[in-house]
Structure 1
């Protein structure tokens, strides 16, 4: 009755007030009498009027800006994904995306499309948004700097860092002497040109370097600590130098710049001595997300904005103010992590790609249309590499590092990436750099960032030092080794319970490794240790409850599925256990359309479809990551569908074909180690008609009576499935169950889907 009552009320209110509004319109029409109201007659149909309105809306500045953002994010993520697949930082792909969308490619070959998407009048809005993104990004970079590390290890790091700045700075100024007359703008003094070339040569991309250190597992080593500290010292010094250079360029002389530098010094002292203690006090009182109210968050964002505004007005650029605001944030790690999480996603995913594309729009590689210009580009790259790479390596060797570590530090410090583009854009805006030099320097930034990974690989090869990504204690012979790879810690507990069911009674003849890989872009060096602890605490507690010794393995990864299979294959594991992920492309029509189109834009999948390894219209029951793990793994893989798995007391194993008979060996392990009650469904008589398999089952029965039961029934009722703790099925049979939409699927217990080793 209540339902009808609500419906009558709804209809009455909507209908009554709609009638009232119509009556008001009729009365209002009478008020128009005596007014000279003219409705223009354009002679166009309503459809034509609609089309004109639509075209007008498409050309509106906001519509153009939104279309630009959508295009930029798609293209940037695509090229970033390609670079990730070839082992390069995603920032390289995002820079390339900017160049592709700019006049160097799209503008040259598709000028009409380029003019429509990036009209000259719209570039101001794009630049403004990209600057906001850079301000937020520099705020994050400032927060990621661990000033305590600089205090504790300052001497060695400062020597390496300052040597890696002064050497390329001097070489850059020397290079400026030779190219000033040919490439400097006519109205720019030599000093300004030389200083900007020097600072551009001496910059290091701290965020890119930190992520490479994490990906290569160096963050827990002494070398990793040294290079992170060097990069942090480099960042602080380079930005202070950049502020001074900007002041000199704007003032026109050293003497005039002293006023700007003096004002900047007052600003820095004010931030350190007045603002920082106040923010530290707030940070100590508010260390959790729950206690960070909107007014408190507003205080910190106001600090960021006011600091950026102050440095822009002083004349040393807003980005220095953003960097300084981040650096003076409370040193409390939890507090910084909360703020980094709040800002980083918006800055990195939404706004920062706009900066890359805006840089790409300025980068006209077509201007380098002469062999001489490419020779100059090569010379710039050579000076940059010699100055930074060799300078850092020699300084590191001088302070006591061995040659391998010295060269590694040199290779990492030579990474320029995004920070180089920031400096170049400032120089371009100040009119110090011509379009030709700007394009050359962007190419240099790309090359020096791209070469970091191969250079590190070459150094490791030259010194015959293979990184031990797999601890020695888990590479033992004559042990049944299980690798548990988990994302969600709670799912990790279920996977560990399952692994324990297979090896419970093997005592010292089994080894379990719990591995958690985290995407590199979700970590900063501030929260790595805390994140690792949070990830492993539940599974370590569960291992203690099970009395199961485990080895933990944590790694920042740029390609998680590939790294999982690499560890499993290199470690020669007997079983790899993972959880079943959920595909974002299933469950809706739009998702399926997007899932289908990604098969065309994913080069790896496209190659597999051309070679016949994958079907174009394949409907897989697994998400992309799980499919990649299955295809790349050479060891047996188990995918757990977790329905609060607790134990393997009762286990159901359906055998639908001859390919499923390998499951019997896993049944035997469960009986031997967990005394499981196994029910095998032999529908097609694969076991009954195979003497060898029949004998194998009989041997299990003799060793463990009443623990294994063979069924030949075709119909399994719901009560039986619900009574089981675990179902084990092969991948092929699971696909058939999903494709046929079997009634089992709604009633099955936790399920382990197994794939044989290749």
Structure 2
């Protein structure tokens, strides 16, 4: 068979398998389609399909096909991360800065500390820390992976729970937005390469100067031209960041965060976001699944995933409850907010991909983080839905922030 035919077989697997599991299994309450796609990416990877059908797996996912899939996946994730950056509404964060900074700060710091503690335990055994990692990079990277909140997936979950446009939903988005900025900032710190520090400082300086010119240009362009110019800006920022050693996804996020949603229209952005999830991101999930490994043994990887999940959930809940005490929230609010903020989804997977690319974590740690992200997100709606129902009966959901 030709490479094109084998590529199309791989694409059929990518789109047919998750859809059938999601639709026939009616998993939407526990696992939305995006989570099923992530799980199927793992199943189609070398650890499951490759273990049971090694010859078939090697035939379908041969090097030429994988290169093509990786190219599509990189473009899809660049668009996704740019849209996540555009979604950040820092003006509202500033408007409610005390409440937002206290909640976001504690909700980031506590799981970071819990995650660092989990990383210390993992470092006691060989095979978890990447070959290019300094100890502080592995600790901070693993800790931040536990502290991530998946902003785009959080939007989908809030929409499913019917609180996206309500005051509580908007509060949670503000907290997640501030955490998102901090997480990408810490990621840039982890990526610092002292041998290329001149390049990295040069990129940041050029980015700051060009952002001023870019924003002036976008304000004057008609909306139809803004989309095209935004894509050029995205590619240029991703290229510059990767050249500087910061990783192209850091550049993609920076490209989005300096754009205003008003330039494109919220409905148009929502449509593009859904189309990227539908058309491109399933390929990213598969390419992510192809990177999973179980060489240390399945039990060890599952133990690490469970440890990281406890650190992530426990840290977020602890941070939210501390914030609730400081800000005097009503009973039940902290638990709901903590559970929603602990959902990981795509951003954590993107974060883990970057750590793996840079050699800070091993493929086994990456697999554990991937399983943790899946478990974290799947727990969210089943746990939060009944709590929201009870909170709604007490009149908490419609209340604005203090």
**TM-score, reference length from structure 1:** 0.49
**Is 1:240 paired with 2:196?**
no
Cα RMSD over matched residues? 2.6
Match of 1:311 in 2: 241
Partner deviation per Cα, 1:307-333 (whole Å, 9 max, x = no partner):
111111122221122222222224426
- Give the secondary-structure state (helix, strand or coil) at the position aligned to 2:7: helix
Match of 2:399 in 1: none
Distance 2:97 2:37 in 1: 33
Change (3 A) 1:74 1:467: farther
Change (3 A) 1:267 1:236: farther
Match of 1:224 in 2: 169
Gaps of 5+ in 2: 396-402
1:195 CA displacement: 1.9
Match of 2:47 in 1: 104
- Give the secondary-structure state (helix, strand or coil) at the position aligned to 1:439: helix
Distance 2:29 2:261 in 1: 36
Match of 1:357 in 2: 286
- Give the secondary-structure state (helix, strand or coil) at the position aligned to 1:433: coil
Bigger relative contact order, structure 1 or 2, given CA contacts below 8 A and separation 6+?
2
**Is 1:347 paired with 2:276?**
yes
1:261 CA displacement: 5.5
Match of 1:483 in 2: none
Is the 1:206–1:235 Cα contact (8 Å) retained in structure 2?
yes
Match of 2:398 in 1: none
**Is 1:118 paired with 2:61?**
yes
Match of 1:536 in 2: none
Is the 2:104–2:178 Cα contact (8 Å) retained in structure 1?
yes
1:279 CA displacement: 1.3
1:135 CA displacement: 0.4
Partner deviation per Cα, 1:648-677 (whole Å, 9 max, x = no partner):
xxxxxxxxxxxxxxxxxxxxxxxxxxxxxx
Partner deviation per Cα, 1:385-421 (whole Å, 9 max, x = no partner):
1112322332244223223111111001000011111
Match of 1:382 in 2: 310
Match of 1:25 in 2: none
**Is 1:441 paired with 2:374?**
no
Match of 2:153 among 208, 232, 240: 208
Match of 1:324 in 2: 254
Alignment of 1:325-474 (within 5 A): 325-332=255-262, 335-338=265-268, 341=271, 343-365=272-294, 367-370=296-299, 374-460=302-388, 463=390, 465-466=392-393
Match of 1:190 among 114, 121, 135: 135
Match of 1:273 in 2: 212
Distance 1:174 1:363 in 2: 23
Match of 2:21 in 1: 79
**TM-score, reference length from structure 2:** 0.88
- Give the secondary-structure state (helix, strand or coil) at the position aligned to 2:246: coil
Change (3 A) 1:298 1:220: closer
- Give the secondary-structure state (helix, strand or coil) at the position aligned to 2:366: helix
Gaps of 5+ in 1: 1-57, 469-758
Partner deviation per Cα, 1:691-750 (whole Å, 9 max, x = no partner):
xxxxxxxxxxxxxxxxxxxxxxxxxxxxxxxxxxxxxxxxxxxxxxxxxxxxxxxxxxxx
Is the 1:83–1:93 Cα contact (8 Å) retained in structure 2?
no
Change (3 A) 1:267 1:164: farther
Distance 2:264 2:290 in 1: 39
Distance 1:214 1:346 in 2: 17
Distance 1:80 1:272 in 2: 42
Structure having the higher helix fraction is 2
Change (3 A) 1:330 1:179: closer
- Give the secondary-structure state (helix, strand or coil) at the position aligned to 1:451: helix
Match of 2:400 in 1: none
1:94 CA displacement: 0.8
Alignment of 1:25-104 (within 5 A): 58-60=1-3, 62-81=4-23, 82=25, 84-104=27-47
- Give the secondary-structure state (helix, strand or coil) at the position aligned to 1:211: helix
Is the 1:79–1:94 Cα contact (8 Å) retained in structure 2?
no
- Give the secondary-structure state (helix, strand or coil) at the position aligned to 1:436: helix
Is the 1:368–1:436 Cα contact (8 Å) retained in structure 2?
no
Is the 2:132–2:358 Cα contact (8 Å) retained in structure 1?
no
Structure having the higher strand fraction is 1
Alignment of 1:735-746 (within 5 A): none
1:263 CA displacement: 3.5
Distance 2:135 2:208 in 1: 32
Distance 1:332 1:121 in 2: 41
Change (3 A) 1:112 1:166: same
Alignment of 1:501-650 (within 5 A): none
- How many residue pairs get aligned? The number is 393
Change (3 A) 1:184 1:115: same
